[in-house]
Amino acid sequence: MSTAATISREILKPHLKIKGGCPLKGEIKISGAKNSALVLMTAALLTEEIVKLNNVPSLTDIHGMEEILSAMGVNTSNSPNGLNLQAKLLSNSEPPYQLVNGLRASFFCIGPLLGRLGRAKIPLPGGCRIGARPVAEHIKGLKALGAVVSVEHGVVSASVLGSKKRLKGAAIILDCPSVGATETILMAAVLAEGITTIENAAQEPEVQDLAKMLNKMGACISGAGGPIITIKGVQRLHGCDYTVIPDRIEAGTYLIAAAITRSKIHISPAIPEHLNAVLQKLRDCGCVIATEMDGITINPGELTGVDITTQPFPGFPTDLQAPFMALLATTKGTSVVTEKIYENRMQHVAELQRMGASIRLQGNTAVIEGVPQLSAAPVSGGDLRSAAAMVLASLAANGTSKVEGLNHLDRGYSNLELKLNSVGSQITRRQ
């Protein structure tokens, strides 16, 4: 290939052009939570009636889940602020491989399908390559509920024996507080016979959101948000009208955008309690944080480094580790960031170094020496959150950066450049 053709091909690759050094000011509206909406969509499989979801973000992952549900016989339609889903004609318990391969959340279909139809056949999940993220805990929980489960050639097959095709309640203790396993077991257990308890359950807001919607559909769930969840099985669920919680990761990303540009902004709607660990680290850095019932204002001062270790909720979220590291690359002093959730979530380090960040990587621990100024560079995000980190670093860099990896970015951020431009950034999307 000629040099001209190579250059032309690079120019055509989708990317963001970001002019660094622009101060931000104003308010950013936060979309509905992606990680909640995806699971709530699969919960619609549990009833024949219409489930109306409000505050659903417009993301490639959401559109992908729509396609998967449609392929299984679910009637999907858009409403002004969300989706209407009706699984009255649900018949297909095997979503197509080509649709589920790239969307990890597709695996959440297994719980509702088992609960409703007594059978399911789901390929092992794909998504961002940030670690193994095994589904062993999901499978263990489904087996405890009476499902027969096998894994062959990358496909999980599960069925319920007996004429009733109905799971049975059980006492389940998770080895680790897996969000996915907790949500899968929750959805499988709501239609099971008897009582199910999940010990060492995940406490994330998204788990609480799922339990709240299931209860609105007629389920009997208590304890969500704590380490022990109790589910009393019911005969059937009905439809509901439900509003997805604000996206705490998106909210955290824009708060960090304000901090890295040393700008004062307000975000809403947001639930401060969902971001306590992040807000505390921003305060420790030197930011002044003001919280209201449904919003947060951040006003950065002179920022210094802090140490961070990712943990399950209510600890510091792994999904904001990369964006926060971009911020720490610009603060005074030394910071240490330790990743405890995923074994391959430091892909952004090399790209930040390309922009002049001083980072030493030792396994899953990064030691960051803050520098006075990052420099614009062509960079790429290898997963969703590292792509967000590249955007944030570019906002603070000297010059104009080119950020690739939009296929990742668009999975988790709705209208990112429009929202940032509305408060003063200068970002242009090139397709």
Question: In this structure, are 253 and 169 located in the same domain?
Answer: no
Residues 399 and 376: beta-carbon distance below 8 Å: yes
If asked whether residues 295 and 331 sit together in one domain, one would say yes
| Nearest CA-CA partner of 210 in 221, 201, 200, 199 | 221
**Is 255 found in the same domain as 221?**
no
CATH number at residue 278: 3.65.10.10
* 7 falls within a domain: no
pLDDT of residue 131: 43
pLDDT attached to residue 163: 77
Same domain, 232 and 92: yes
CA distance 313 to 315: 5
Domain final residue pick, 211, 243, 275: 243
Two tokens, residue 279: 């807000």
The span from the CA of 267 to the CA of 304, in Å, is: 23
Choosing from 201, 217, 243, the residue where a domain stops is 243
Q: Are 50 and 85 in contact (CB under 8 A)?
A: yes
Q: What is the pLDDT of residue 354?
A: 97
- Within a domain: 1: no
Q: Are residues 292 and 225 both part of a single domain?
A: no
Q: Which domain holds residue 407?
A: 13-30+246-430
Task: Report the pLDDT value the prediction gives residue 4, as an integer from 0 to 100.
Answer: 52
Q: Flag whether 142 is in a domain.
A: yes
Per the structure block, which two tokens stand in for 33? 């939570």
Q: What is the pLDDT of residue 3?
A: 54
In a domain, 376, yes or no: yes
Encoded tokens for 31: 């979309």
Is 128 part of the annotated catalytic residue set?
yes
Domain identity same for 251 and 234: no
Number of domains present in the structure of the chain: 2
Is residue 2 domain-resident? no
Q: Which residues of the chain have pLDDT under 70?
A: 1-12, 102, 125-133
Are 228 and 258 part of one and the same domain?
A: no
Name the catalytic one among 128, 240, 285, 287: 128
Burial grade of 314 (CB within 10 A; 0-12, 13-18, 19 or more): middle
CB within 8 A of 233, min separation 6: which ones? 167, 169, 189, 190, 191, 192, 193, 194, 195, 196, 220
Q: Which residue has the tokens 């010990």?
A: 199
Residues 263 and 129: their CA atoms lie apart, in Å, by 33
Instruction: Out of 208, 243, 278, pick the residue that ends a domain.
Output: 243
Residue 3 lies in a domain: no
> CB atoms < 10 A from the CB of 223, how many?
15
Q: Which of 23, 15, 24, 6 is closest to 401 using CA atoms? A: 15
Whether residues 262 and 221 fall in one domain? no
**Are 264 and 232 members of one domain?**
no
Structural contact between residues 49 and 89, judged by C-beta atoms closer than 8 angstroms: no
Query: What pLDDT score was predicted for residue 154?
Result: 81
Structure-derived torsion over alpha carbons of residues 107, 35, 416, 356, reported in degrees to the nearest 10: -90
The span from the CA of 180 to the CA of 155, in Å, is 17
Q: Are 252 and 34 in contact (CB under 8 A)?
A: no
CB count within 10 Å of CB 372 equals 8
Q: Tokens standing for 219?
A: 């389920």
CA nearest to 248, candidates 331, 161, 314? 314
**Does residue 8 belong to any structural domain of this protein?**
no
Same domain flag for 220 and 275 = no
Residues 267 and 326 in one domain: yes
**Is 350 in the same domain as 395?**
yes
Residue at 81 is within a domain: yes
